[in-house]
Homo-oligomer: A and B are copies of this chain.
Amino acid sequence: MVGVVSDDVFDDPSGTREEILAATYQALVEHGYADLTIERIGDELEKSQSLIYHHYDGKDDLVLSCLEFMLERFEATMAEDELDDPRDRLERVVDWMLAPELDSEHRQFFATTLELRARANYDSAYRDHFTRSDRTFDRRIATIVREGIEQGEFRECDPEAVASTLMTLLTGALFRRSSVDDTEWLEGVREEVDAYLEQCVYATDE
């Protein structure tokens, strides 16, 4: 999960903050938010637990910083993709989020962000984060759609509307799959997303 991130995101020459956030992420994935404690984060950290208190004001401050860190990482990953064909890029996002099988790392990553998203209903700091992160993702997808239209590969559709629809559907798919035992329904969803993209987004050959 944790890797190279631009310097302006975590201006921390020693790397301690980044190590603490990586430990927070590991502890979150292992125990879930409800059972997360500073001690459990400390268990994932090679350095002294006391460093956590030096850098962060408790559990929610840490978790929110961790979410921010994950969002920045995610954006950086998507930014690497810029040179590709718009249709391929859109398909890659759909493939990834509707994959019939998820490896355990991705499964845990999604489950963790969903649990934290559920907190947003009760806590405005989480709400602020997810408002911002949804905007970031929608905007990123809308940019792909806009490029597709400009390049004549996509129809004259509404890039923002298409982006919000795909992100809403993909969020729903992740949330459903993390809370049910069967995944057969995913295949049907994939077929309908393909039909929607063909009919409403991709340009026809004529």
Contacts and interface: CB of A to CB of B under 8 A. Distances in A.
B178 A121 contact: yes
B115 A180 contact: no
Specify the main secondary structure of chain A where it touches its partner: helix
A151 interface: no
A196 B189 contact: no
A169 interface: yes
Interface of A: 32, 34, 111, 114-115, 117-118, 120-122, 126-128, 130-131, 134-135, 138, 158, 160-165, 167-173, 175-176, 178-182, 185-189, 191-193, 195-196, 199-200
A121 B117 contact: no
A120 B196 CA distance: 30
Q: How many copies make up the complex?
A: 2
Contacts of A191: 158, 161
B115 A192 contact: no
Nearest to A134: B180
A111 B61 CA distance: 23
A192 B157 CA distance: 9
23 contacts: A32-B122, A34-B122, A114-B121, A114-B175, A115-B121, A117-B175, A117-B179, A121-B179, A126-B179, A127-B179, A131-B182, A161-B189, A161-B192, A164-B186, A164-B189, A165-B169, A168-B172, A168-B176, A168-B185, A172-B175, A192-B196, A192-B200, A195-B196
